[in-house]
Amino acid sequence: MTAPRALNPGPSRPGGVSVGTRQCASLLRVVAEPTRLAVLRLIATAPLSVNEIAGQLDVEQTLLSHHLALLRRNGLVSVHRDGKRQLYELADGVKLNDAADVIDFGCCRLQFF
């Protein structure tokens, strides 16, 4: 899957569901897991290292690395180096509103309460 972007309804597939709707549903399945959702919420305001995320979420680093890799493969998270550390942040196609409580994936928005 490529990085999230604004999706138009697009052509329908058999069953009447558009390609854009299927892509959005696939993206939502990725973020429906509680640890991955918590990671997105943490890195929404500042880039963090694996150790920082693991410490704040109380998650084993190996399990967290799996979740980060899945988020990265689905275009939700990007990584960059800061010296020896790798910092994870929201990918360019994923936007955060000014109040830092809504993440816009392009096809839909997720609001934290």
pLDDT in tens, 73-111: 999 999 999 999 999 999 988 887 777 788 888 888 888
pLDDT tens, position by position, 16-61: 677 788 888 988 999 999 999 999 989 988 999 999 999 999 999 9
Percent of the chain exceeding pLDDT 70 equals 84
CA distance 49 to 79: 9
CB 12 within 8 A of CB 57: no
Q: Does domain 19-111 have CATH number 1.10.10.10?
A: yes
Distance CA 105, CA 30 (A): 12
